[in-house]
Amino acid sequence: MFVVAMHSLSSSVRAHNLSKLDSEHFDVLVIGGGVTGAGVALDAAARGYRVALVEKIDFASGTSSKSTKLVHGGIRYLPNFDFSLVHEALVERGILLQNAPFLVSPVPFVLPMYKGDRHPVGMPFTTPGGIGLGLLLRMGLWMYDGLAGRYNIKRHRRLKREGVLKLAPALVSEGLKDGYMYYDAQTNDARLTMALIRTAAQQGAVITNYTEVTSFISEQGKIQGARVHDRIGNQDLLLYARHIVNAKGVFSVLPETEDKRILFIVPWESRAIFGTTDTGSGDLDHPTASREDIVYLLKYLNRYLSVTLTEDNIISSYAGYRPLVSPRKAGGSTARVSRTHAVLESPSGLVTIVGGKMTTYRRMAQDTLDVLKRRDGSPLLHPTQSLPLQGSAGWPVVQSELEKKGAMLGLSPQTLSHLGRNYGAEAVALLELIVDDPSLAQLLIDDLPYIRAEVIFACRQEMAMTPYDVLARRTSITLEDRRRGLGVVDEVAALMAKEHQWSPDQQQSLVDTFRSAIEAQIAAEKIGVGVA
């Protein structure tokens, strides 16, 4: 017998929430449903505020589904003596491992050292002739462990040449001296954002996707609310709130890129991710990977791997823009809270949270809420430090029950492990769907662990409104499937149509939209770099 506390985000809840947005007064309006906005909404709701969050497309449809999926301190900032930045991120890594144990997991990294290597893989510094680099690297790794303090995952260790090759057999062995192993963590960025959205909703936040803030309502120069357009119902609403937080990510500042000399090969879900480049193609709403990006990455991949990979080995590609803090001074009074991110207050009262990274979303939200609480003259409590995300409660116990019951329902160990990693304790709700309708246990794609029940769950609990939401964000099928979901979109749309009562025309039009978006992405990969 399983009992799971659920707070559903179905399409009827969305409709209900829209009417609340139009009729109620809120304490806090959060604009943007990426990881930052979701984190702010959760922190605000957990501190007792009446919260609304509106997202113009889908949750995590911006940069928050396009990261390298690492929950990390950022080892490359050490040579810049950015100790506070690294410490902050390492602490947040530890808090996230504790608050979402099913969704965030430790991952070991191997740093190979080659003879005459002046830029060891992953470390953007050099010494004259490369002398003493091993020692410097070791000092850096000691520091990395030390800065994590009690949150450290496991101490780094030195590897002999044979040890490096045993752990990473595909590496080029010629010139390999030795190496190091250190630990960070990884997650599924879109699912993390969804877990935050669900937890915020559970705490009382009123949340809608496909709802865009089009302008502000101001009185005597002070912002009182926002005009909001419901892109699905094609209606306009007026939303009033005492505090308005702009968490629009890259839409807040000019996009910039960081030094991308670190090249990551990260095992993730059923595949491996390799990146990143520092070019940008496509507009802010549609960043794309270009052919140059792919050629560049393959060149470096083949330099370090003993096997030769070609474009045929690439299943999918994605790109995103980083919302970095602009080095220029922004207008209005600026409260600089850390070197990674900034909370900006404009004279109109608008609060903007910029910079940071996925790993530090919680700290960014906490600093934002501290600004609002100071305005209100209330005490600064930090409840999210130990607030489990949706799916975490009772997780280790539920995990073994899940395996037993899942096996009885005929689910493979791969699917059960996938359900646990993505839904945590809530995976039992997917099993309940299968009990009611055994056809929902079927795989969507033969060589991936996704099942039909996930489509239903996404519609009833996670506000999935289009096939793209299901295929690109509730699941990662567009990344993991060689056909990027084109072979399964009809089936997904048919399942969704019953949930949302779509007409045949609506269903077909949504399938066509998905197909066009994927085909445009594939076409972009075949041509040169576009506008940055």
Where is 99: in which H helix or E strand? helix 83-99
The candidate with the shortest Cα–Cα distance to 450, out of 429, 421, 428, 426, is 421
- Taking the complex as a whole, the smallest distance from the CB of residue 299 to ligand FAD amounts, in Å, to 18
- Taking the complex as a whole, the smallest distance from the CB of residue 430 to ligand FAD amounts, in Å, to 26
- Taking the complex as a whole, the smallest distance from the CB of residue 493 to ligand FAD amounts, in Å, to 23
The tokens of 96 are what?
Answer: 């996230």
Please list the alpha-helical segments (H only) found in 305-392.
361-376
Torsions phi, psi for 493 (to 5 deg): -65, -35
Cβ proximity to ligand FAD: between 36 and 99 the closer is 36
Cβ proximity to ligand FAD: between 346 and 378 the closer is 346
Please answer whether residues 400 and 423 qualify as being in contact, where contact means their C-beta atoms are separated by less than 8 angstroms. Answer: no
Cβ proximity to ligand FAD: between 156 and 248 the closer is 248
Q: Is residue 260 exposed (0-12), middle (13-18) or buried (19+ Cβ within 10 Å)? A: middle
Question: How do 341-345 and 333-335 pair as beta strands?
Answer: antiparallel
Unique residue bearing structure tokens 């595949």: 271
- Taking the complex as a whole, the smallest distance from the CB of residue 302 to ligand FAD amounts, in Å, to 21
Rounded Cα gap, residues 251 and 284, in angstroms: 7
Where is 398: in which H helix or E strand? helix 395-408
Cβ proximity to ligand FAD: between 54 and 430 the closer is 54
- Taking the complex as a whole, the smallest distance from the CB of residue 41 to ligand FAD amounts, in Å, to 11
- Taking the complex as a whole, the smallest distance from the CB of residue 407 to ligand FAD amounts, in Å, to 34
- Taking the complex as a whole, the smallest distance from the CB of residue 214 to ligand FAD amounts, in Å, to 7
Cβ proximity to ligand FAD: between 363 and 460 the closer is 363
- Taking the complex as a whole, the smallest distance from the CB of residue 324 to ligand FAD amounts, in Å, to 8
Angle between helices 361-376 and 83-99 (to 10 degrees): 100
- Taking the complex as a whole, the smallest distance from the CB of residue 306 to ligand FAD amounts, in Å, to 26
Cβ proximity to ligand FAD: between 266 and 409 the closer is 266
Q: Which residues of 82-111 are buried (b: 16+ CB within 10 A; e: fewer)?
A: beebbbbbbbbbbbbbebbbbbbeebebbb
Please answer whether residues 117 and 172 qualify as being in contact, where contact means their C-beta atoms are separated by less than 8 angstroms. Answer: no
CA distances from 275 to 10, 297, 314, 433 (A): 35, 7, 12, 37
Residues that bind ligand FAD (CB under 6 A): 31-37, 54-57, 61-64, 66-70, 212-213, 247-251, 276, 320-323, 356-359
- Taking the complex as a whole, the smallest distance from the CB of residue 303 to ligand FAD amounts, in Å, to 21
Please answer whether residues 147 and 75 qualify as being in contact, where contact means their C-beta atoms are separated by less than 8 angstroms. Answer: no
- Taking the complex as a whole, the smallest distance from the CB of residue 379 to ligand FAD amounts, in Å, to 27
Cβ proximity to ligand FAD: between 213 and 459 the closer is 213
Cβ proximity to ligand FAD: between 56 and 156 the closer is 56
Please answer whether residues 241 and 28 qualify as being in contact, where contact means their C-beta atoms are separated by less than 8 angstroms. Answer: yes
Cβ proximity to ligand FAD: between 68 and 422 the closer is 68
Torsions phi, psi for 343 (to 5 deg): -105, 120
Cβ proximity to ligand FAD: between 317 and 392 the closer is 317
The helix/strand/coil state of 473 is helix
The tokens of 38 are what?
Answer: 């979701």
CA distances from 168 to 108, 116, 119, 159, 164 (A): 11, 20, 19, 11, 6
Cβ proximity to ligand FAD: between 321 and 395 the closer is 321
